Amino acid sequence: MNEPGHILSGGCLCGAVRYEIDYRGEEASLCHCAMCRRQSGGAFMGFVTVPRAHYRLLKGEITFRRSSDIGRRGFCAECATPLVMDYNYEDERTGIVTGSLDDPEAVPPVLHWGVESMLSWLKLDDGLPRLTTDQDPEYAKAIGLHNPDVT
């Protein structure tokens, strides 16, 4: 993580919320948990977890909804675009929804997470590691991966 930071911008579908992050090369993951699927309406969600101090809200505001005992999900109240995911035990970092970045190509995922919930019809041949939710969650937490807030 010693490479110099560069600014990545993002925002919601309607444009009410805009943000930027000072990106330092943090690794991204794709989460296949049922909660991410439900919230996004898609097959999975991508996240990159960054220090909260490196995240700046430029316009609008993020509405939060507690999604479990340990997590909350932030979205645009106007258009419902998912934007961030925070954990109670993690005050200093926040999970950015990579699909809300203007250039998601800038943060390719390095692994799949929560694959016990991965849809059977989803065919991905990317060769990336696949972890289940109960596979070493402390490790995942330590390296800042999105950890599904399953209850």
Alpha-helix runs per DSSP H in the chain = 34-40, 137-142
Minimum distance, C-beta of residue 100 to Zn ion, in the bound complex (Å):
10
Q: Choose the stretch contacting Zn ion; rule: CB under 5 A; options: 24-32, 86-94, 98-106, 124-132.
A: 24-32
The vertex-79 CA angle with 62 and 31, nearest 5°, equals 70
Nearest one of 145, 116, 110, 120 to 133, comparing CA atoms: 116
- Pick from 12, 3, 23: nearest CA to 144: 23
Size of the site for Zn ion (CB under 5 A): 10
Q: How far is the CB of 60 from Zn ion (least distance, A)?
A: 7
The span of 10-18, 65-73, 103-111, 125-133 binding Zn ion (CB under 5 A) equals 10-18
83 belongs to the binding site for Zn ion (CB under 5 A): no
Cβ atoms of 3 and 118 within 8 Å: the answer is no
Query: Which amino acid is present at 113?
Result: W
Q: Three-state DSSP class for 124? A: coil
Quick check: 11 binds Zn ion (CB under 5 A)? no
CA distance 146 to 113: 8
Q: From the CB of 15, what's the least distance to Zn ion, in Å?
A: 6
Among residues 4 and 77, whose Cβ is nearest to Zn ion? 77
Verify binding: residue 150, Zn ion, rule CB under 5 A. Answer: no
Stretch that binds Zn ion, among 32-40, 87-95, 101-109, 136-144 (CB under 5 A): 32-40
Structure tokens at 58: 């430029």
Q: Which of residues 120-149 bind Zn ion (CB under 5 A)?
A: 148
What is the binding site for Zn ion (CB under 5 A)?
12, 14, 16, 31, 33, 36, 76, 78-79, 148
